[in-house]
Structure 1
């Protein structure tokens, strides 16, 4: 299925669709030079059309496309912004998608924006979008989804829309009712290295500090549902790929061989002496098991908005104190006292929280991109995992329409 990647950013749509197979990008559009720099470092764009400005695209020059993807600019509709909507030139860029769709008439549209789009101007803005797509022949389904329910420990609510051209295919209701927002679920207690976690919920990252997978953190019942693993070694992150054979415990009994699942966990690391939590970097901070939404402003450290930026709180009862890494005493909502240190999320961790791989991050890092831009590009991206799951729906609908 050939698709055109509008407002491409660093390619969250592309990564998500290519991960499930059956999708081929034929062109992309991105005006931010740093996002373009990252995009071209991550993907093989040879032979593809590139457009800097969506307003200058001539639809007739595009090849055949089955799908248009686009996270059209959301600042105009965000609750955090002034919500100017279509009065802002960024808000009118939705109509560039409609303009191209009116000529190319792809079978599908796959769009993303902030939930604030639904309520902007008392719903009139969203009504205008739906009316425009209806006039072009598209039936539209939409749903607000949270990234934390799709395998990344980040609370990120976004609005996703799929348009089905009614003359070319039958649509399908977009409904995710089985999403799972759990963190770790301990099935069998015990000391570190012996305890077993269920593969339900979001996995923690395992370390190899004890000489093997999970030696210092606990083990997972991998044979239960197929658990992905990302391992931190002294040389960097090592990914256990699907089909790799590893040692694991099974139901608390003897050690035996297991197989790695089909996806990769991108989470923070744990170690023998430290426990990790997310903690707000703003007034009235709260400790959370899931990171706050990654924003383009994450490089600014302390935020004035409550519940906006997450840092990492490292529980550490080694009472040595210094100016560079001062100890912090934190009392949680259950009146428990935590002593430790706070550090900022790294750019790499922010990219992981959006579902990108370390290999992709390293390709962009090698271009010399600054940390501030790495933070910004992660904050502006769409979550890869969510795109993959919705892409599976589009793929299935397309297969069904071919069969019919």
Structure 2
């Protein structure tokens, strides 16, 4: 079977591409990476250094003409979590337009305008997508599901914590697979009971098995057009109807709360540490230790807001230093730099307490060592990249399982 051709959006430094191409079954034919808030496009520079400039676009995806994007079998991307509400309709147009600048609608535009739509979609987002916004829990995800159904896709999703399946970081993200009605996978799904697909038969169940014990299994339709969903979906309810595992097919949601089933080897924080000498800049000076201990510690104190309002503030203690015999905590974008922080990782070594190096952060996301090393890119920016990235191993396992079902 020939390699599956792929369009990669919101490419970052190429985590999706690494996972796909590690299987040797996929080939990225076009990619886009654009960081709107900065002049220097550091992530795109890394991407081009690792994968070449051919077929790579470094401009605002909203301005890219769909005709310039080649046809491909699959579209992938980790699109940012924003407010996806529908702002307006256009008379005599093919569809709806969401809020300006919201990147989901760039995906929607590409799928809408392509004569030969990608047969498969493979998307990633933070898990709060399933329950946002707070005023209409689950509305944003319902809009995405309905808009994909309107374009001819069946959709399944799963919230996957990489560490639950032996990977080195406790990083929880929602992964979304969609199958166009022209595919054999769509027909295969049509021939199965939804709970069989979610439990055993689908690509997600094969890649990331779940326990037989599930909770909250239920089903409901998503009715109305995108405008009415935007205005009324789940209005007044405190809880999202979407559980961490689900399927949307022919207008109906089937969803359940699942737990991971995994008994294989596990990688812990200690396993990814560099063997050699680590530069002194990563070690915490003794004079800075009180700041670190304060930020990592528990607090019950009075604070004053900018407007002068005084309030009680409290928070629990963080593990300090980080436990070496467990998968790491989630990397965030502010991981880099020497300043004291509640959320940066700190480990104990014979030489003293230190922060993690860029290579160690890359390893936590299962990237190759020094993937983000490039002249002119500081360590703090390399850490930022990893805070934005996904765990490559999750993509690789899902991509392998998906290919086996084609």
- Scaled by the length of structure 2, the TM-score of the pair is 0.62
Identify which of 7, 11, 17 aligns with 2:10. 7
CA deviation after TM superposition for structure 1 residue 173, in Å: 5.3
Q: Relative CO higher for 1 or 2, CA cutoff 8 Å, sep ≥ 6?
A: 2
CA deviation after TM superposition for structure 1 residue 200, in Å: 2.5
Q: Is the 8 A contact 1:205 1:231 kept in 2?
A: no
Distance 1:11 1:394 in 2: 20
Match of 2:336 in 1: 299
Distance 2:105 2:365 in 1: 27
Distance 1:280 1:296, change over 3 A: farther
Distance 1:347 1:280, change over 3 A: farther
Match of 1:225 in 2: none
Instruction: Map 1:111-190 to 2 at 5 A.
Output: 111-121=123-133, 122-171=137-186, 172=202, 174-175=204-205, 176-177=208-209
Distance 1:378 1:203, change over 3 A: closer
Matched, 1:202 2:267: yes
Distance 2:331 2:262 in 1: 17
Identify which of 310, 318, 324 aligns with 1:285. 318
Distance 1:25 1:110 in 2: 13
Match of 2:348 in 1: 313
Distance 1:282 1:181, change over 3 A: farther
Matched, 1:348 2:359: yes
Distance 2:77 2:265 in 1: 31
Match of 1:268 in 2: none
Match of 1:357 in 2: 368
CA deviation after TM superposition for structure 1 residue 201, in Å: 2.3
Distance 1:142 1:170 in 2: 15
Distance 1:113 1:93, change over 3 A: same
Match of 1:257 in 2: none
The total of aligned residue pairs comes to: 279
Match of 2:235 in 1: none
Structure 1: segments with no counterpart, 5+ residues? 77-83, 183-198, 207-228, 236-278, 317-324, 326-340, 399-404
Q: Is the 8 A contact 1:68 1:109 kept in 2?
A: yes
Q: Is the 8 A contact 1:181 1:202 kept in 2?
A: no
Distance 1:374 1:123 in 2: 33
CA deviation after TM superposition for structure 1 residue 16, in Å: 0.2
Q: Is the 8 A contact 1:282 1:309 kept in 2?
A: no
Distance 1:135 1:293, change over 3 A: same
Matched, 1:65 2:95: no
Distance 1:281 1:311, change over 3 A: farther
Distance 1:348 1:380 in 2: 15
Identify which of 91, 94, 109 aligns with 2:121. 109
Match of 2:57 in 1: 50
Structure 2: segments with no counterpart, 5+ residues? 36-40, 88-97, 187-201, 211-259, 279-292, 298-316
Distance 2:157 2:100 in 1: 21
Instruction: Map 1:220-299 to 2 at 5 A.
Output: 232=275, 282-283=296-297, 284-286=317-319, 287-288=322-323, 289-299=326-336
Q: Is the 8 A contact 1:5 1:29 kept in 2?
A: yes
Distance 1:169 1:57 in 2: 31
Q: Is the 8 A contact 1:85 1:91 kept in 2?
A: no
Distance 2:50 2:276 in 1: 24
Match of 2:42 in 1: 34
Distance 1:22 1:386 in 2: 16
Matched position secondary structure for 2:341: coil
What CA deviation, in whole Å up to 9, does each residue of 1:248-271 have, x standing for no partner?
A: xxxxxxxxxxxxxxxxxxxxxxxx
Matched position secondary structure for 1:129: helix
Matched position secondary structure for 1:297: helix
Between 109-118 and 151-160, the greater mean CA deviation after superposition: 151-160
CA RMSD of aligned residues (A): 3.0
